[in-house]
Amino acid sequence: MAKVDIGPSSLPEQESHPTDVFVLPVTPMLGSNVELTKQLFDTLENGESKALVLIGFATGTTPTALNPFIKRTVDRGVPVFILSNNPGEESGPKRIVYGVQQDAVEAGASPLRDVNVNHLPEVLGAIQAEIDSGKFGQELSEAILEKFGSSAAVPSQE
């Protein structure tokens, strides 16, 4: 079973333990409240998390205010995966078509193509299994992208 820490939520207080995967549901407030965003990412940085899963909006987008924090997290060797929060579908975005999606990718995030929030337990289990097998950082990211696919970038039209 994956050791998971779900970010801000209304879940009851649970026993504190180190986690390997930090799950952060993205909300409009998170993007607009820089201090809250900084506190959450500082918590992640000070913990023992080895991967971050952002549950983005329906198209897999995240607020641009998160990008510096995504970059800082990836630069520390912690992969950042994005799941789209579109429970009416069975997959994530097939292509990166919005600028905010591209910005998150450029910051180092990896949107997952073949899964979305409906598959969160499967994704967390796969990440934990790869961590348990000794994969971290870029190697962990590559293993998860191989399993669930990465959204294809659409060339910019300049």
Burial class (CB in 10 A: 0-12, 13-18, 19+), 115: buried
Could you tell me if residue 80 is inside a domain?
yes
Quote the CA–CA distance of 105 and 108 in Å, as a whole number.
Answer: 5
Could you tell me if residue 155 is inside a domain?
no
Could you tell me if residue 9 is inside a domain?
no
The pair of three-digit structure tokens given for residue 66, joined into one six-digit string: 């998160």
Quote the CA–CA distance of 8 and 140 in Å, as a whole number.
Answer: 25
DSSP secondary structure letter of residue 90 = S
The number of domains in the chain is 1
Rounded mean pLDDT, 142-155: 83
Could you tell me if residue 7 is inside a domain?
no
The pair of three-digit structure tokens given for residue 109, joined into one six-digit string: 């995030």
Print the domain residue range for 135. 20-150
Angle among Cα 60, 4, 95 to the nearest 5 degrees reads: 15
Could you tell me if residue 8 is inside a domain?
no
Could you read off the pLDDT of 27-83 as tens digits, one per residue? Answer: 888 878 888 888 888 888 787 889 999 999 988 888 888 999 999 999 999 999 999
Could you tell me if residue 5 is inside a domain?
no
Could you read off the pLDDT of 85-135 as tens digits, one per residue? Answer: 988 888 887 767 666 688 899 999 999 999 999 999 999 999 999 999 999
Could you tell me if residue 157 is inside a domain?
no
**Tokens 């294809």 label which residue?**
152
What integer pLDDT is reported at residue 109 of this predicted model? 94
3-state secondary structure of 97: coil
Could you tell me if residue 2 is inside a domain?
no
What integer pLDDT is reported at residue 19 of this predicted model? 65
Quote the CA–CA distance of 25 and 82 in Å, as a whole number.
Answer: 10
Residue 26, CB half-sphere, CA atoms under 13 Å: how many?
Answer: 28
